[in-house]
Chains A and B, each alone.
Chain A
Amino acid sequence: MEAWGVALIKVVFIWAWTLIIATLMTWVERRGSAMIQDRLGPNVCGPFGILQPLADGIKLFTKEDIVPEKAKKILFALGPIMFALPAFSAYAVIPFGDKIVIGGKEIILQVADVNIGFLYIMAIGAMSVYGIVVGGWGSNNKFSILGGLRSTAQLISYEVPFGLALLSVVIIYGTFSLREIVLHQQGTFLGFLPNWGIFKQPLGFILFIVTAYCEANRVPFDLPEAESEIVAGYHTEYGSMRLGLYLFGEYVNMYTLSALMVTLYFGGWHIPYIDMSKFLGPVAYGIASFLVFFLKTCFFLWLFVWVRWTVPRFRYDQVMSLGWKSLIPLALLNLFITAFLVQLTI
């Protein structure tokens, strides 16, 4: 057991860090999309417009809070909170670095190294859909309800391949703890490949990334908020900070999922062929591992943005058929092959 103080510092740190990243992501999204589309994007507030999220935040906080007259008041208020809270708490079990030694004490860079980290992620990730449904229902708007329903159907369909893809990873590493999975990915595999999840689970990774996009409600799976079809989907009636929570939760979800991708498939804080712990001091190593992990996460965060501005959107029934007819059979096949190979090698 760790000391209370250390745990508290870690909680506060990761909470603040996630907030900062999510805020910055709104800026990256806007600038990135602008660059992709031959535009400039927000570039007035601060250097390169980096203070724009701050301005947006101030705007969202100070705007009038409008509750539609015929909305179901309690549900309407509950929606954004139910969406944002799970998003913020999901990061707890994902590591953000290896370990750091300060004053002779070894601190693991992870809020809680629980041995059922996977189940926690699955459970909390599935929670966020309630926020969407409750908000969509509480708004008492047909477009919002449609958005909520789309989100439900989507989440139910994609939770299965998401879980199955994760399960294949569990079979390979034989553990549910995310930290241990990263520790397993050190060294090389077949002599020359880095011992990363992606090389052992290429199909699993593709399945995972597709389902992750769906879980995060990002293009091409942004049906719940498809602005050209159902106005803004579940947050049509929301404004001010309630809307802010929804938007914010989305980016926090993205950060969590990107970190999960790095943890499971891209070797966490490991650099291929190099063992940093051998030539770095304990403090430097802790910081370096954190940075490596963060940079890898950044790539996937950017991938979310990049894909969003490249592809069109699916239609509701096509998402369903892709999920049930392609992804689930593939995930099952992947699981079967993995189990078979693992059985052979043991």
Chain B
Amino acid sequence: MGKPEVKRDYTLGERLYLVEIVKGLGITWKHFMKNFRASLQKGPHTVPTCWQYPWDKREISPIFRGEHMLLLDEEGREKCVACGMCQRVCPAKCITIKRGKVKEGEEAKYAGKTYCASFEIDLLRCIFCGLCEEACNKGAIVLGQGYELADFSRQACVADKKRLIGNFLRAKEEGRLKPKRPPVPVAGAKDAKAAGPQKAKSAGGGQGKGLKRGV
């Protein structure tokens, strides 16, 4: 054992500290001047690497995995049928669903035969992995772009059904809905291109194996 002897030769330039230090000063000076000029310009986002957060927000990806939303279909009916798939697949166990049966006269409100009487996501537990979205057969739960989730109480961080649907309505209004993504082609499927929702459903649907994405 014992440490090996290290012998490396320094060149003369390396030996005299100053040469490399002056070169280094040159590099930092270039950066300084670039940013100095940029910071003199008017505008919110002059230095390209700096986002001045509350006033100046970064463009986030359209498929960003942020706060969830519960989707309504074109006729304004809730898509969720409370099958509990998301609840089962969730690694953080943050989703709680209560199922309710659709009564007569309520068909205009709900798309399926059952609906979620309550739908709670504990955002403090949620890890935003997106598995619920993939597990959902109906495309009812989708992760949106909301990321400002801080609040003052624990209770306020539990998103209920109203808030989740509100997220959807707001996103729809702002045009920030997730773009529809084609299903992932699966090996062995006869014609991967034509593998519509049925095919994707047959390949997934179970334990977080859903492959559908998008609204």
Contact = CB atoms under 8 A, between A and B. Distances in A.
Interface residues of A, number: 16
A337 interface: no
A35 B35 CA distance: 5
Interface residues of B, number: 16
Interface string A181-209: 00000000000000000000000001000
A338 to B, nearest CB: 21
A332 to B, nearest CB: 19
A39 B28 contact: no
B32 A35 contact: yes
A35 B25 contact: no
A36 B28 contact: yes
A307 B39 CA distance: 21
Contact of A38 (B25, B29, B49): B49
Contacts of B50: 38-40
B26 to A, nearest CB: 9
B47 A38 contact: yes
Contacts of A37: 31
Interface in A66-99: none
A236 to B, nearest CB: 29
B31 A306 contact: no
Interface string A286-327: 000000000000000000001101110000000000000000
A39 B49 contact: yes
Contacts of A48: 39
A35 B32 CA distance: 5
Contacts of B29: 306
B36 interface: yes
Nearest to A37: B31
B49 A310 contact: no
A48 B47 CA distance: 14
A309 B28 contact: yes
Nearest to A38: B49
A36 B47 CA distance: 12
B39 A40 contact: yes
A311 B27 CA distance: 11
A233 interface: no
27 contacts: A34-B35, A35-B31, A35-B32, A35-B36, A35-B39, A36-B31, A36-B32, A36-B35, A38-B35, A38-B47, A38-B50, A39-B35, A39-B50, A40-B39, A40-B47, A40-B50, A40-B52, A43-B39, A48-B39, A306-B25, A306-B29, A306-B32, A307-B25, A310-B24, A310-B28, A311-B21, A311-B24
**Which 10 interchain pairs have the tightest Cβ spacing?**
A35-B35, A40-B50, A310-B24, A36-B28, A35-B32, A310-B28, A36-B32, A38-B49, A40-B47, A35-B36
